[in-house]
Structure 1
């Protein structure tokens, strides 16, 4: 089956996720730059989450660009990914409003971990039963970058209880790792 509807639906959901996140930002009551200081945790959470949603949108686009076929299983795997992505605005707001306390930082990490697992499942579904998607399977390989990310998320979740900012730092490291589009796929598209 074609992939156009899956791409369009995913783009729409991701656009809504970003919109929900920005609507959570509240304007300060004063007109001085100092009035922004109490909002820095909220802004920091928003910036990191915006980057994460952008990373997923970008890599999702690359992944779907290279595949030739999708199945009903791929539709469900994609919905699974979108479900976890849709929870990012909630944990972003919770973490920012509570100034990076342990439970919200851990919950943020759990959602990021589940997004990574869901993305990995989607990639496997797209490659396992569709020989025409061989280029994606070859590009992803054993997915060292994905497994490394999952390890950092688990470390961030574990660190967030004693040291919430250390847990948050783990999530920043993963975002930095993925900031550039997935070059493994881009190299395949050029060939």
Structure 2
């Protein structure tokens, strides 16, 4: 299945590249020297950038997700194809919203965004799940690391969708910010999950019991240690020793350990 996984990687990259290319080709080129046509072209370029940022963010997260996967099972293939099928609808929905930005078209575009993001979350969990033998632990870690960000982005998407019913043209602009927010909030999630999955059992449990504010602080400290040892491998003993020391010295985790023992 390793060769099939490599071919799937190439296929997915090709599909995403074609999606972006089609969106560019669908831009309405001004045919006359008229201000109205230039305005329509400018609007189309703006909407293209919204869709481009969305697809580019998906590609980045997709690449990070599959980078460490050695093989793929049938379950992942099915989820991947369904995900790509809905992502492939992006050019036509972009074209529709370009030519007629109204309540219906903006709502349809927003619903497609939610569906694609939801399918990608399910795909992400399937890929991560097959990499680890302790299924119960990885499920809990996945929800702990990804949960807050996915919930925030999900609620934000639904809120924007509701507002799009009343202010469709204004919400088109807001959709430009969503991929940027998604990239900023989730770009470290996969590496954080890998680090936590490699911790000893006791420290995993401590991580899973950490509250939201302390968890954010802990993850920032983790990333500082990771940057320090960048390029030396994820299993570097010095890095793992510093991560262990971090958990042992963190105030909230220290208190939990004290209560437990």
TM-score class normalised by the smaller sequence: 0.7 to 0.9
Moved more, 26-35 or 145-154: 26-35
Structure 1 residue aligned with 2:188: 183
Structure 2: distance between partners of 1:150 and 1:170: 15
Whether the 8 Å CA contact 2:47–2:94 is kept in 1: the answer is yes
Structure 1 residue 174, shift from structure 2 partner: 1.6
The structure whose Rg is larger is 2
- Does the aligned pair in 2 maintain the 1:69–1:132 contact within 8 Å? no
Runs of 4+ residues deviating >4 angstroms: 31-35, 136-140, 186-190
**CA offset digits 1:108-165 (Å, max 9, x no partner):** 000000010110110121133441698x975772332222222122112211111113
Q: Aligned residue for 2:115?
A: 114
**Which piece of structure 1 moves more, 137-146 or 158-167?**
137-146
Partner Cα separation in structure 2 for residue 68 and residue 146 of structure 1:
25
Number of equivalent positions: 189
How much has 1:166 moved relative to structure 2?
4.0
> Structure 2: how far apart are the matches of 1:38 and 1:167?
18
Deviates more, 1:82-91 or 1:147-156: 147-156
Partner of 2:163: 159
Q: Would the aligned equivalents of 1:106 and 1:167 in 2 still touch at CA under 8 Å?
A: no
In the alignment, structure 1 residue 36 sits paired with structure 2 residue 38 = yes
Between 1:112-121 and 1:172-181, the stretch displaced more is: 172-181
Residues 156 and 169 in structure 1, CA contact (< 8 A), matched pair in contact too: no
**Structure 1 match to 2:28:** 26
* Alignment deviations for residues 156-186 of structure 1 (CA, whole Å, 9 cap, x no partner): 2211111113432442332121245722235
DSSP-derived class of the 1:26 partner: coil
What stretches of structure 1 of length at least 5 have no aligned partner?
none
Residue matched to 1:101: 102
The answer to which of 54-63 and 150-159 deviates more is 150-159
Rounded Cα–Cα distance in structure 1 between residues aligned with 2:93 and 2:80? 21
User: 1:101–1:164: 8 Å Cα contact kept in structure 2?
Assistant: yes
Give the direction of change, closer, same or farther, for the CA distance of 1:153–1:8 in structure 2 (3 Å limit). Answer: same
**Consecutive unaligned residues in structure 2, runs of 5 or more:** 196-229, 235-261
1:33-72 mapped onto 2 (5 Å cutoff): 35-72=37-74
* Local SS of the residue matching 2:146: coil
